[in-house]
Structure 1
Amino acid sequence: MNLGIVGTGKIVADALFAMQPVEEIKIRAVFARPHSREKGEELAKKYGIPKMFTDYDEMLDESDVDTVYIGLVNMVHYEYARKALEHGKNVILEKPFVGTYSEAEGLMELAKQKGCFIFEAITVLHNDVIGKMKEALPKLGRIRMMTANYSQYSSRYDRYLAGDVDPAFDPACLSGALRDINVYNIHYAAELFGRPEKVSYHPNIGFNGVDTSGILVMEYDGFSAVCTGAKDSDSPCFVTIQGEKGYMKIDGKPNVAPNLTIVTVDDSGDPVKDAAGAMTRKTIVETFVPAETHHRMTREFIDFARIIDGRNYGEADRYAKETLDVMSIIENSQLKES
């Protein structure tokens, strides 16, 4: 894969570090918008990137890039992804994918027409934990509840409270807690259960109309998934799925998924008394810790390079369907954008 980097912000710096051990990726160029030229030059020098552009069309036309990684502000994801596909380039697009379901569907169709790949860069789908969860799900019996919480006090929130609105707190930039942070929780639900029957969102709205935190409720057949995301407050982060025969839980940030505990009922054992004196079912406890990686984003880039270089359209289609499920959930969340 000959990769072009689009953007110069923090997520791009993280991505460049994450890609370092991925031998299949050759970074051939970086694009910086004119006002970020100096940052682009610094990244090119630091990571040995041979070309730096401030004209996006020029990078797409004149470089040997076959794939672009887009790490720009959310509101321009669609524009930059579409232009890359029109130039016959594969696209890795940072989360949240785009603004609307129709935009997402349009990009997927355009990619097929051009024989290209397009992916959402979402770490949830590229961690061994999600595979283990899918494997363990039938052991839990009938699912009764999913709860997830990704709450992290934003480093930009104090500025926001003072009236200095960063793009991360600007609804015009397609930002906010639902798209920026709760989206990880949504991906767990979509990957494990698909599209819900009904969606509702209960946000805390800031002075400019942005959702600084909120609770998303997804109603499935027989259970609900309740996902909390906050940029205005802190809380322990977790993902829990409960069934009639057990539960499983991630303790930690959903975008990292550092572990998984699976607790299932041992039908061969008698009930036991818990610390409160109640009789509880005997259980079997399994723990899973994924292999350590260079960076939380490294595995997704390994997967993208493998799929693109191997022309594995079937696997790419599976990821595309999951992204469309998430876009459907977001669009139907009843969040009123300002």
Structure 2
Amino acid sequence: MIRFGIVGTNWITERFIAAGKQHEDFNITAVYSRSKEKGQAFMEKHQLQLAFSDISEMAEHKEIDAVYIASPNALHAEQALLFMENGKHVLCEKPFASNSMEVSHMIKKAEQEGVVLMEAMKSTFMPNFLAVKEHLHKIGPVRSYFSSSCRYSTFYDDLKNGSLPNLFNPALSGGALMDLGVYTIAPLVALFGRPTSIQATGTLLESGVDGQGHMLLDYGEVKASVMFSCITNSYLPTEIIGEKGTIVIHHISSPKKAEIHYPDGTSEDISRLQKYDPMYYEIAEFIQLIQNNKQQSSINTWENSIITIEILDQARRQMGVEISK
């Protein structure tokens, strides 16, 4: 059994626990919250053993093997480094950190301490994305990739009414690209690696972060286009377009279906049965890494995380977003 601690008490941690309980070697033991009251309530709700309002105390505790970090983006690196310094394995929500320098520090610390470090980008572990990778050769030379991740956030209403939600707070590394756009970039990197160049344009909000944007990424023979937004909705699927066919992926952040459309009008459903919660698959990978004494995933590799955050850095600079240091 791997004894997990959780950093954060938001909706994503609720989903993490529900998914983790589907794995026989998952044991959730502790939670951290800045609010002692919230932490206590979360502990009682999920029948945990421990609740902490002092994160250093949690990092030092001997009854925790690993942590899942689901705090605001700007806190990821600081908290991950603290836990790794205390010998804890770290599964950290996307985006991995605020910038590429922080991600590099995190990876270096993992190497030094001999612990597992993995970015919790769930989509790249899910059955339908793995099916896409397996069947990619069927569409011949790939020429184009298009992906969209646009979902109107109710927090945008709060911003317009004068408050500053975490999602739109530059001090917390917020913005549409970091929140939703990363879902279009990580699969692209998993499939094709590092682009030779990128061009980005976006809409800056009054808080200083991007509300929406578009990117063009050049891979030589493959041209990629992505769009992302927290202030509008889009219902378009992701397409990988080749000379011999087109793969259509529905809901790129959590692939629910995948099919190939061929030039002759026929189609092939390449979807796979998904037995478990979408977050289960990243948890299973993380637990397996710990049990097999491997420090990084062969799917969500450190190199892929570095490339992804470097793309996010460059795109934000081009859009005029100030990157926190």
Query: What TM-score results when the alignment is normalised by the length of structure 2?
Result: 0.93
CA distance in 2, matches of 1:149, 1:245: 23
Q: 1:31 to 1:316 in 2, by over 3 A?
A: farther
CA distance in 1, matches of 2:297, 2:131: 18
Aligned length: 319
CA distance in 2, matches of 1:316, 1:225: 24
| 1:310-325 alignment runs, 5 A limit | 310-313=292-295, 315=297, 319-325=301-307
Q: 1:130 to 1:294 in 2, by over 3 A?
A: closer
Name the SS for the 2:108 alignment partner: helix
State the AA in 2 paired with 1:203: G
- Structure with max Cα Rg: 1
| RMSD of aligned Cα (Å) | 1.6
Superposition deviation, residue 41 in structure 1: 1.3
Tell me the equivalent position of 2:231.
Answer: 232
CA distance in 1, matches of 2:117, 2:274: 27
Tell me the equivalent position of 2:25.
Answer: 24
CA distance in 2, matches of 1:56, 1:163: 31
Tell me the equivalent position of 1:243.
Answer: 242
State the AA in 2 paired with 1:255: S
Tell me the equivalent position of 1:166.
Answer: 165
Name the SS for the 2:154 alignment partner: coil
The answer to whether residue 9 in structure 2 is matched with residue 11 in structure 1 is: no
Q: 1:184 to 1:317 in 2, by over 3 A?
A: closer
| 1:245-324 alignment runs, 5 A limit | 245-251=244-250, 253-264=251-262, 281-313=263-295, 315=297, 319-324=301-306
Contact 2:132 2:270 in 1 (8 A): no
Tell me the equivalent position of 2:117.
Answer: 118
Name the SS for the 2:63 alignment partner: coil
**Deviates further, 56-65 or 290-299:** 290-299
Tell me the equivalent position of 1:274.
Answer: none
Q: 1:315 to 1:210 in 2, by over 3 A?
A: closer
CA distance in 2, matches of 1:164, 1:313: 41
Q: 1:157 to 1:19 in 2, by over 3 A?
A: same
Q: Write out per-residue CA displacement over residues 216-257 of structure 1, whole angstroms, 9 at most, x where no aligned residue.
A: 211111232111111101110421010111110112x21111
Q: Write out per-residue CA displacement over residues 27-86 of structure 1, whole angstroms, 9 at most, x where no aligned residue.
A: 1211111xx222211221121110111111111213411111111011111100011111
Residue ranges of structure 2 left out of the alignment (5+ in a row): none
State the AA in 2 paired with 1:12: T
Superposition deviation, residue 336 in structure 1: 2.6
| 1:63-212 alignment runs, 5 A limit | 63-212=62-211
Name the SS for the 2:202 alignment partner: strand
CA distance in 2, matches of 1:217, 1:188: 15
CA distance in 2, matches of 1:8, 1:330: 26
State the AA in 1 paired with 2:10: G
Contact 1:28 1:63 in 2 (8 A): no
Q: 1:187 to 1:173 in 2, by over 3 A?
A: same
Superposition deviation, residue 159 in structure 1: 1.0
Superposition deviation, residue 211 in structure 1: 0.6
Q: 1:137 to 1:195 in 2, by over 3 A?
A: same
Superposition deviation, residue 204 in structure 1: 1.2
Contact 1:117 1:316 in 2 (8 A): no
State the AA in 2 paired with 1:259: K
Contact 2:4 2:30 in 1 (8 A): yes
CA distance in 1, matches of 2:304, 2:275: 24
Residue ranges of structure 1 left out of the alignment (5+ in a row): 265-280
